Structure 1
Amino acid sequence: MDIYKRIDEIFDELVQIRRDFHMHPELSQYEFRTQRKIREYLNKWGIENYTCAETGVVGIIRGKNKGKTVGIRGDIDALPIHEENDVPYRSLTPGVMHACGHDAHAAIVLGTAKIIKELADSEDSINGNVK
């Protein structure tokens, strides 16, 4: 697989995911919609997953070959700040916004998971697992 080509192919999808998260920010410990959306994507892409810590999500991608387990993490919480940006995907939640990039964290980690899952399912697969 040409990973750079694959990134280009899913780029627009990841931008839409990021904008959706940006429009629906949730404060720490209240990321229930974000958790649900993340799980929807993981399920759609055939990635085993479970919830943890009330609003967290862990996805598991199992390689066909033995090896270590590597962890990738991203934050999903927003901040109690009023958004003043004038963009079509601005926060719809008064007084809450993604001001430090956690919407992008979530989209990037999801895109990474999607590509790693495709690699894991390929003939060459991956060594070990990714969480």
Structure 2
Amino acid sequence: MLAMAGIGDWITGALEKGGAKVRTVIPEEGGLQFTESFSIGKGSQKADLAKKWIQYITSAKGQVKSANMVAYPCLIPNKKGWELLATETPAEAKRQGMVLNQSNVMDMIRDGRITYRQLPVQQSLEDWNDFWSEYKGS
């Protein structure tokens, strides 16, 4: 049986790790990559701890931990992280297309097959209300 659904790689990864015979495929027309960011708010009472956490989670070790999460695993943005992922969990590195010296996820980004989603821009409350009214009315 062949079934297709428009969902993210994270859910197929979770299903696959559980034994399901599923696979994520990026359509020839392309797909979107979500992005995340970390920041420390002005006036944060624990800015030093937040900075240490950001330093850890953006290190190779932290990126490998993120790449191995069941829900929303990350795409590792650096070579050291890829090397460590291949050493610690080679099957996951292969599943996510993060193996050096072969066709990989970064090639799909460079070729425009995967594009980053547009980050939100500041919009007025009126814009949001107009969008919501149009959405509800469709």
Same fold (TM over 0.5): no
More helix by share: 2
More strand by share: 1
**TM-score under structure 1 length normalisation:** 0.23
**TM-score under structure 2 length normalisation:** 0.22
Which structure carries more relative contact order (alpha carbon 8 Å, separation 6+)?
1
Rg comparison, structure with higher value: 2
